[in-house]
Amino acid sequence: MNRIRHSRSAGRFLPLAALAAGILATTLVSTGTASDGRWAGSRSPAVHRIPLKDTADQKIIPTEKNPPPFSTRFTCAPCHVYESIATGRHFNAFSPTAAAGRPGEPWVWLDERTGTQIPISPRTWPGMFNPADLGLSAWDFAVLFGRHLPGGGPAEPEESLETPGSRWGVSGKAEINCLACHNAAKTQDHSEWARQMMRENFRWAGTAAAGFGEVGGMASRLKGTWDPADGPNPDDTEWAVVPTVKYDPALFDSKFQAFFDLAYPPKDRSCLACHSNAPAGSRKFDFDEDVHTAAGLSCTACHRNDITHDIIRGYEGEAADNPGLVSSDFTCRACHLGEENKKGLGGSGRMGAPYPYHKGIPEVHFERLSCTVCHSGPLPADEPARIRTARANRLGIFGKADWSTDLPVVVEPVYRRDTNGKLAPHRMMWPAFWGELEGGTIKPLRPEAVLSSAGETLFPERAVIRVLTALRGMSERPGDPVLVIDGKYFEQNLDGGLTVHPVSGEATPAEWHFAAVENGKVKPYWPEFDPAEAEAAAEPEGAIQRVLEALAAMAGAPGTPAITYKNTQYRLVEGALEKTERKDPTADESSWLWIKDESRLPMLTEEERNAAATLPGSEHRLTESQVVSVLKSLAGGKAKNPVYISGGKLFRLDEKGALEAAEHQATAPVAWPMAHQVRPARQSLGWNGCTDCHSATSDFFFTRVESRGPLLTAKSESAAGVSFMDLSNPYHRLFGLSYLGRPYFKIVLAFAAFLIGAVLLAALVQAVGRISGLIEKRK
């Protein structure tokens, strides 16, 4: 399966390989180790000095011309059963027989330009889209998410799953990247993996990421007919460069065996390449580790696996979800409460894990709450915190470009029912996408289809950037051109977008305008002047002329640039500044204009200005007016009943063509339970008493959960946290209020108990006195 044609003769190194395999096999049989999963008992790790094999199971000679990338399937195969590993949790998402288990983090199909963020999972998790339902093939999936895939699975599909339009023949398949987790060498580079996957160098990605060699070229630029057997194209060494490997000869011995610096179990840094997360906007300096990590535990101390790589997720009930799991002893409860019959004998759980006494906490909490409610994630606040995760926000890919994305907005903690019915802290996001409403169901539209239909509507900053680019060509430029709106200025950034800053510097006109910024100070292009005073106006009018000259040179200018200033209109006529008085300028008329056929057009439309003024620097990507425009353009195209989903609402055009928000089940947020970061016991909920949660204004119950989405709108949903718990809001307000009197209540109970106890004691003394005859004797 998955054999890739190769140019080299198959039997060239067969005798040598067979000999090596034979020796290894003999050794393994005698020690009973990895090949059959049994452990002979040695805790000393095996040194892996082994030959690299290619996808034709041929030993790689690194010094030969155009050596192929190495194949984990064949390099690791003599000792480790690849097919068994391929059933592991990281690789089996697309397998119909794999246990889905409780929901986990989805992949998010993100297209910021169209405001698309679709949670996807091949597993049957509620609210998440199956890739097949969206028309995503294994190829699409590998291209979209290869950056954080560990190889195997969808990146190495069976031939029956290779769909038309895919380019597996060119890219090769990304085999399970064993070294992504097991390479202890600091040269293991996840960023390199991501780059190679984005270049569609699937076959080469593992070799490049491991640091075994340099990989050049881009399979994505090659023709679909290219085959590795064709080799490099000597006629194109600039653009469509064939992927090649240049191995580091220092890594090989004289027998061309490479030393693998392996980590078993994997190091945390390997896990964190794909499983990092951090509060949005936080500083690295402020970030505290999970308490278990800080105590010296590694990820794999709990998330263990055997040769099947069916990694323990560690939630309660996992064994029922996945009967084949090697152990269910690594939940919070299993480690901290110890074995059921020992009840934390000696005051500790597994390996001396602190045994929780949970003093004063009623039993109901343990029946209805997961441990993580009180112990994991950020403490509840007036609103859930934004979190950025490696897979959703493309973290951990380092380079000159910033690969990370602001979207999707994921928030935590939102307390919801887990699959076992207990409350658990969840991460949550709201799907956002364009779609067609058909018979009550919404079929999502692919972002490229929306883009082609919407045209410039989704690129409002382009009009601003065109003007800024033109102004950059101005002679005697006083600084970098910026757009000033509402006390903020917007400058072009390296990504072709706009970056927003607050205005500081000279006072600027209230209305929107272009200006220059130098050393962070905004300066108008011309100072205040009176156009009627010719001598004083000469210099400012010179500046206006230079601005107009720069704008006139703008590519694709829709007309002649003009500027109005204090009832005076300036424009260029045959290279000279024409100055005309405007007696009745309307109040809302723009100062920066295009004049086309004597009609005056604002240099930026209201939609462009709104988008420019409100979207940069925010978590939003679309304005309502943009959505209206796109819905109209989609309706005018092939889409039937086009809608846009964002922020927990469905948006569509009403009969008058205005935007209306509606409810629909497809708008519901998607949530998945979280377990990290675990906080120390002293920072757990309840440590300070019941009122950590039970008060009339408790953040635990009454945090405001705002539905978040790419659309800037006031129509988004907002709900109290308690509504996600399937609990009654008024009751918990009342219950919380009762805690105002709880201390007094305890005093009353203690007082009553004291009185009753005193009377009982007196009666007892009297009874004993009577029975013993002492009282009668005294009388």
Partner 1 sequence: MTAFIIIAIASLAGALFFRSEQRFRAAHPKFQAGAYLKWLGSRIKGFFSASFFKRCVSLWDGWVGARYPGWLKWIFFAFAAAFLYLAASGLIYAVFIRRGMFGLPLLAHVMGGGVFALGLAFIMLFRARAYGFTPQEAAPFEAFACPIFKNIPKEMVVKALFWIFAVLGFVQIVTALFSMLPIISFNTQVTLIMIHRYSALGLVLTAIVFFDAAVLGRPASPRT
Query: Roughly how many angstroms between the first and final C-alpha of the chain, as a whole number?
Result: 105
Distance CA 80, CA 77 (A): 5
Instruction: Examine residue 765 and tell whether it contacts partner 1 (CB under 8 A).
Output: no
Query: Does residue 96 sit in helix, strand or coil?
Result: coil
Task: Using the rule CB under 8 A, give the single segment among 11-19, 53-61, 557-565, 753-761 that binds partner 1.
Answer: 753-761
Determine which residue in the list 25, 229, 381, 748 makes contact with partner 1, applying CB under 8 A: 748
Q: Closest CB to partner 1 among 355 and 529?
A: 355
Nearest to 211 by CA among 246, 241, 243: 246
By CB under 8 A, name the one of 363, 495, 533, 584 that touches partner 1.
363
> Cβ closer to partner 1: 117 or 698?
698
The verdict on 771 binding partner 1 (CB under 8 A) reads yes
Q: Cα(229)–Cα(8) distance, rounded to whole angstroms?
A: 9
The single residue among 15, 362, 440, 502 that binds partner 1, judged by CB under 8 A, is 362
Give the number of other CB atoms < 10 A from CB of residue 598: 7
Interface region with partner 1, contact rule CB under 8 A, candidates 145-153, 357-365, 378-386, 716-724: 357-365
Which 715-734 residues touch partner 1, going by CB under 8 A?
Answer: 728, 731, 734
Residues 372-401 that bind partner 1 (CB under 8 A): none
Strands (E), 533-624: 560-565, 568-573, 576-581, 592-596, 599-602, 622-623
- Count residues near partner 1 (CB under 8 A): 37
Give the C-alpha separation, 650 to 359, whole Å: 47
Q: Minimum distance from CB of 359 to partner 1 (Å)?
A: 5
Alpha-carbon span 54 to 17, nearest angstrom: 12
Q: Of 345, 756, 765, 774, which lies in the binding site for partner 1, with binding defined by CB under 8 A?
A: 756
User: Closer to partner 1 at the Cβ: 39 or 357?
Assistant: 357
Among 358, 566, 582, 676, binds partner 1 (CB under 8 A): 358
735 binds partner 1, rule: CB under 8 A: yes
Nearest distance from residue 199's CB to partner 1, in Å? 56
Select from 356, 408, 413, 431 the one that contacts partner 1 (CB under 8 A).
356
Is the CA virtual torsion 758, 762, 763, 767 positive or negative?
A: positive
Residue 292 CB, nearest approach to partner 1 (Å): 22
43 binds partner 1 (CB under 8 A): no
Tokens 């969206």 sit at which residue?
134
The angle that helices 461-472 and 606-614 make with each other, rounded to 10 degrees, is: 90
Q: Between residues 18 and 755, which has the closer beta carbon with respect to partner 1? A: 755
Candidate list 43, 283, 284, 359; residue touching partner 1; CB under 8 A? 359
8 Å CB contact between 408 and 429: yes
Window of 273-281, 536-544, 583-591, 769-777 that interacts with partner 1 by CB under 8 A: 769-777
Nearer to partner 1, 719 or 775 (CB): 775
- Nearest CB to partner 1, comparing residues 264 and 357: 357
Q: How far is CA 594 from CA 406, 409, 490, 558, in A?
A: 35, 38, 21, 7
Helices (H), 160-295: 168-171, 178-182, 190-198, 202-210, 268-275, 291-294
Q: Tokens for 81?
A: 């059963």
Q: Is 770 in the site for partner 1 (CB under 8 A)?
A: yes
Task: Identify which of 244, 736, 549 has the alpha carbon closest to the alpha carbon of residue 541.
Answer: 549
Binding of partner 1 by 29 (CB under 8 A): no
**Structure tokens, 171:** 């890219």
Q: Does 25 bind partner 1 (CB under 8 A)?
A: no
Quick check: 132 binds partner 1 (CB under 8 A)? Answer: no
- We find the least distance from the C-beta atom of residue 756 to partner 1, in angstroms, to be 5
Could you say whether residue 366 binds partner 1 (CB under 8 A)?
A: yes
The yes or no reply on residue 340 touching partner 1 (CB under 8 A) is no
CB-wise, 381 or 756, nearer to partner 1?
Answer: 756
Residue in this structure with the two tokens 């300096």, named with its chain if needed: 285
Q: Single out the segment in contact with partner 1 by CB under 8 A; choices: 314-322, 472-480, 717-725, 749-757.
A: 749-757
Using an 8 Å Cβ cutoff, are 128 and 120 in contact?
yes
Q: Is 763 in the site for partner 1 (CB under 8 A)?
A: yes
Burial class (CB in 10 A: 0-12, 13-18, 19+), 90: buried
Cβ nearer to partner 1, comparing 359 with 400: 359
Instruction: Give the DSSP per-residue string, 472-504.
Output: HT-TT--SEEEEEETTEEEEE-TTSSEEEEE--
Binding mask 670-709 for partner 1 (x = CB under 8 A): -------------------x--------------------
Interface mask (CB under 8 A) for partner 1, residues 603-642, using x and -?
A: ----------------------------------------
CB burial of residue 456 (10 Å; 0-12, 13-18, 19+)? exposed
- Min dist CB 772 to partner 1, Å, is 10
Single out the residue of 16, 532, 767, 774 in contact with partner 1 (rule: CB under 8 A): 767
Q: Cα–Cα distance between 418 and 415 in angstroms, integer?
A: 9
Pick one of 23, 29, 750, 774: the residue that binds partner 1 (CB under 8 A).
Answer: 750
Which helix (H) or strand (E) covers residue 461, if one does? helix 461-472
**DSSP H or E segment with residue 670:** strand 670-673
User: Are 208 and 201 a contacting pair, CB within 8 Å?
Assistant: yes
- Considering only the stretches 75-83, 359-367, 611-619, 700-708, report the one whose residues sit in contact with partner 1 under the rule CB under 8 A: 359-367
Distance CA 661, CA 657 (A): 13
- Residue from the set 5, 342, 343, 704 that interacts with partner 1 by CB under 8 A: 343
342 binds partner 1 (CB under 8 A): no
Residue numbers of the site for partner 1 (CB under 8 A)?
343, 356-364, 366, 689, 728, 731, 734-735, 738, 742, 745-746, 748-753, 755-757, 759-760, 763, 766-767, 770-771, 776
